[in-house]
Each structure stands twice: as structure tokens, then as C-alpha cells.
Structure 1
Amino acid sequence: MTKPSAHRNSIIQLHKGGTRAIDISKRLKVSKKLVSTTIARFKELGTNFDRKGRGNKRSVINKAIIKKVRDRVRLNPFRPVRKMASQLKVSKSSMGRILRNHLHFKAYKLRKAQLLTDAVKKKREQRAKDIRQRFNGIDHRISIPDLNPMDFSVWSVLESQACAKSHKTVESLKKALQKAWEAIDPQYLLATLADQYEKAAKNKSNGNEEKTKNIKEEPKTDIWHGGRKAKRRLEE
């Protein structure tokens, strides 16, 4: 389909002003045929828009093929687009336009997931609580920098002394750190680390006692996942 001329409005305005077609052609420097067809279209339609149905007609996507695609999808909604396109002898892009724009279908991929009912959710919650209770009271090493005195206290002193000047090699940095470590007052290390490790030791001993107490008080139970048959065998 050819692009509409940019002189349509000018031709119509000059025609309304009483200018002849040949003078319009000379003034706008366009062909006489363009001027005559534009004036004829304006007299017929009363506007400068194109006639309805202008351009090439659709040769592939028509009502018949849209109906065929709709019927095939109804019979088997899992049919691939490429297979339908090859069977109906159309391109994959045309088949996609039929499904999206004309039939308003949206492709989706089936995902496998567990069917979680209320009973299954409750059972999972109970098992999670049992596992959490099993590991209750176990002491874990502190690895958070803000809670480790070696990170937030001692290392800051080493860094301020060793990195006071820039180092070009790793060996130079190592020597500076070693020198700063030897210069630290032992009383400072005792005051910084002793209190922290004493608290950690107390927490560990209290946690072990609580864990032993829980083990003695809790009855010995087993969790079975064998289903009804296994349960019947246990009851027998």
C-alpha cells in the first residue's frame, strides 16, 4: 500500500478557494493525476481520508482458517503451534497472530507442584517444630563482625596502625601487620577478649544443660512416613 500524499490538505484547500486543477499542479509542483484524483475523492467522500478497503486484502488469515484453528484448539489444547501451522500450511507468525489477536488465547506452560492441602500443611508445620526442638540449645560460633571482638576491636587497631601508609606489596603489608600485632599491649587483649569468651563459655554450659534436660523429659518418639500399611503393621 502506497503512502498517502502530503499535499492532500493543500490541494483540497486550494480547490475550495476556486483554484483550477492545472494551477494547483503548477503551484505545488505535483502531477495533474494526483490533483484530479484527490479532488474526485473529496467530492465523493467529503473528506481527505482513504477509501474503505484501500490496500492489499488479507490472503492467509480469513474466517475459514480462524474457524479451523479454533476447532483444533478445542479438540486438543496441548497441540503445538508449529504443528498446527504446518498442518494448515501457514507460517508460525501467522498462526501466532490468529491465536493471540483473533481468538484471544494465551499460551502457558504447565508446572508441576505439590498439592498442599490443609492436612499436609499442618503436618509439615508440626515436623518443622519437631526438628527445631531437636536442635534447641546448640551453641553456634559467633561469626557476625559486630559481635566478634577480634573484628570490631582488635582488627580496627591493627588496621589503623598497619595501614597508616600505603603498601605496594603484600609482603610489606604482612610485615606491618606483624609489627602492629607485636606492639599491642597484652593487658588490652585480656580486657577485650577474656570477658567475651567467659560469656560464651557460660552460654555454652547453660545450653548443654538445657539440652540434656529436654532429652530426659521428652518421650522417645519416632516419625513414620510409610502410610497406612506401615501404620497397620506397627499396630499389629
Structure 2
Amino acid sequence: MKELRGGIIRLIEEGKNANQIDTAMNLDRMTVGRIIHRYQENGSYEDRHRSGRPRTARTPANKRKIKGRIQRNQNSRKNFIRKMAKAVGVSHKAEETQNLIRDNVPEFIEVDISSKRNNGDWPPNSPFSIWSILEAEACSKPHHSIEALKKSLVASWNKIPQDVIDRAVDDFPKRLQKCIDAQGGHFENK
């Protein structure tokens, strides 16, 4: 688009009028008129600054940071997602962040960001599942006291389906053994 605008401005500077340009370039008359008007207004055909949320996850600077970290720390995967997200200032649950890390670290635990789930809950087989459910439910509104938070947590716990709790309980001995095998160290994603 920038090249198109540059071409239109070049033709204007050569003395062509808007009608000649839209005919020669097979463009809509309004498009040519807007580009000429913008150029006359601010002397540039560059994109204007746009309001709205800025790009965060896939900026060129962030891509360079992530690529550099991956190359420097290929053997270190401990807390990789959180460290990477913190380094570039984005949420580790953001869809673009999930996609970027999935492309580079196939063994990470992926958060389900589908529309079927509330706010990007962890998958049911994840060790973070119950905490994610409790947090999403109990912390969906602010609490004015510790007691209010406790009541909200208990109410949220009571809403969790029993089969989800059963799976977490059944998985607990395996998780404890993994913790023992790792001598108390990090054992996720191994």
C-alpha cells in the first residue's frame, strides 16, 4: 500500500491530476483523492499513527529477543514460558505467545484458549487445572477482605465438577513420585 501511495504522489508531483491518476492506475477515485488529500495535509504518505492496542507479542524486537534466548538457552526449559513472556512483556496465555512458543518448544504445557473455555484455562490433565479454575471463578470480581476471598474460594471449589477433582487426586501420587525423583526440583515437561 505504501508503494501505491508513493506512486500516486510521484504522479501528482509530475503534474498529473487525480482523474488521470485513477484512470492510469485503475484505482477508485475516492482512494486517489484521500491519498492526495493526506499528502497535502501533512506532507507525507506514510501510515498515520493509529489508536488502539499496540502489537505486543510478534513485534520484530520481541522476535529477536525470543530467538536469541532460545539459541542461548537451548538446554534450559525451566519456567521457559513465564520467563520468556516476562522478558518481552506479554501474557503467557496470549494466543500469539502460545503459538510462538509452541513453534519453538514442542514439549511445553499448552493453555487451552479456545472459545469453549472461559479465559484460557489449563487443560484438565495439567497440574495447574484446579488452580486455574479456582482463580477464574473466585477472582472474577474484586474482594474487599480476606474473609470475602475465602468465601469465594470455598464457593468456587464447590462448583468444580467431581470428575475434575478425582483426576487431580488420582494424578497426585504420580506427581509426588516425580517430585521425589527430581529431588524436589522442577519436574514439569520432562
TM-score of the superposed pair, with normalisation by structure 2? 0.30
Structure possessing the higher radius of gyration over alpha carbons = 1
